[in-house]
Structure 1
């Protein structure tokens, strides 16, 4: 049974949790169809040494929906407003999937507010064929044809279907608001190239992590982003797909803990 974490809300209606103290202030942004609970293992591990804030995307969990068109820059503006509403100075940001695109946008547009950035299972410059496929899914979802089982086939291997991670993600997909899902997926489908040329200008320590079995957020994408970023590093976790933060929680949490200690080059 899904255990719901207690949230607070910003004045604009963004739901979040705030755990731990000391160390870096880390903000976690989940992917399409998920909510704060998908970060459970990372919140538990990282809040021991850091202040960890995790947020529900607009129209997900307990956050109000976006009141602007479903485009990636509007999600980035929403996140930037949340950082300001919480009175945060400079933060470290880690995002998964759609959250990774938002984190990339924040890194590109708010460099003075960024200490470091981590993209988990982030997409980067999709091929024309991949872009066509994901935009077709976005059109289908936006039309109201929302198959809550279909993502599971892409995100998990057959031998993971009896796992606790699979059950968690399945339950979260069952609960997500269709309108919130459709809006976020539209931005996800059309947003991979919006900030993709910004990485050479991102001076903060940058981690790009994915699973070697993720066919949409590939190891090659992570490695290409790391090469394009002055302080970028790629980590590829073998034997895992798109939901690597819940299927390989210890490895992901350790990689994030290590990233939070990187010292910026001078």
Structure 2
């Protein structure tokens, strides 16, 4: 598909792509991206649902948060904009946000989709992600190529090109603020996972080296109404690279929710 730029609307302090009518589905993207990363899901789900895809604070058209924001700050900016409950789906750091939203604002969440979510990183993985965070100065843009290789390998594609453009046009300060949070977090607590009462889908790709299938399975095991799905042949950017399978899994999640 073409990863076209979409019109934004106000969403509390943030800006969001809003499309469709019906029960709400909220889509939260990861660090360095923007609402268009959910383009395939927006097009499919907006046929039946009201889809809200905000730009993360400091990304796309959304302003930065002040100070040194925490995960809670990023999540509160989303929660403050929500007037009615939604099925909340997040990718990468967006998955961290979705799970924290469900933990702190359960009245706003009908179901959770946590895609490519980290959980209890290895010591080596922690050291690597924290080193990347420490290398960001908030002024200059980092070379996107190492990130693109982690996400896509070396193969060229329209999805890779779109992500390259978004990364090259990211706000360096906004990127650093979000990446520092992403690097510092290690996934939800066992207590938070056990407290999830809504349907919770934990999904990742078989070829995902950092948000591994084992991580998704471990979180699903702890959640009372959780299950995990491993998408064969997919890596980190599966909502973009494997849209049909991801959309089918999302519909399965939505069917389990009380909308």
Shorter-chain-normalised TM-score: which range?
over 0.9
- Paired with 1:216 and 1:2, the residues of 2 have a C-alpha distance of 25
Cα contact 1:211–1:241 (8 A) shared by 2: yes
Question: CA separation of 1:2/1:256 partners in 2, compared to 1, >3 Å: closer, same or farther?
Answer: closer
Q: Equivalent residue for 2:116?
A: 121
Cα deviation for residue 195 of structure 1 reads 4.3
Q: Equivalent residue for 1:192?
A: 186
Q: Equivalent residue for 1:21?
A: 21
Q: Equivalent residue for 1:260?
A: 254
Question: CA separation of 1:196/1:189 partners in 2, compared to 1, >3 Å: closer, same or farther?
Answer: farther
Matched, 1:152 2:151: no
TM normalised by structure 2 equals 0.94
Give CA deviations for 1:148-169 in whole Å, capped at 9, x if unaligned. 22110100133xx221111111
Give CA deviations for 1:127-161 in whole Å, capped at 9, x if unaligned. 22211111111001246562222110100133xx2
- Secondary structure of the corresponding residue to residue 18 of structure 2: strand
1:110 to 84, 105, 114: 105
- Secondary structure of the corresponding residue to residue 18 of structure 1: strand
Question: CA separation of 1:2/1:48 partners in 2, compared to 1, >3 Å: closer, same or farther?
Answer: closer
Q: After the TM superposition, list the runs of 4 or more consecutive aligned residues in structure 1 that deviate by more than 3 angstroms.
A: 142-145, 193-197
- Paired with 2:221 and 2:107, the residues of 1 have a C-alpha distance of 22
Cα deviation for residue 80 of structure 1 reads 1.4
Question: CA separation of 1:263/1:9 partners in 2, compared to 1, >3 Å: closer, same or farther?
Answer: closer
Q: Equivalent residue for 2:43?
A: 44
Give CA deviations for 1:158-188 in whole Å, capped at 9, x if unaligned. 3xx2211111111111111111111110010
1:161-240 aligned at under 5 Å gives the runs 161-193=155-187, 195=189, 197-240=191-234
Cα contact 1:104–1:119 (8 A) shared by 2: yes
Structure 1 gaps of 5+ residues are none
- Secondary structure of the corresponding residue to residue 3 of structure 1: coil
RMSD: 1.6
TM normalised by structure 1 equals 0.91
Structure 2 gaps of 5+ residues are none
- Paired with 1:216 and 1:181, the residues of 2 have a C-alpha distance of 19
Cα deviation for residue 2 of structure 1 reads 5.3
Give CA deviations for 1:22-58 in whole Å, capped at 9, x if unaligned. 2x31010100010011100000011111111100001
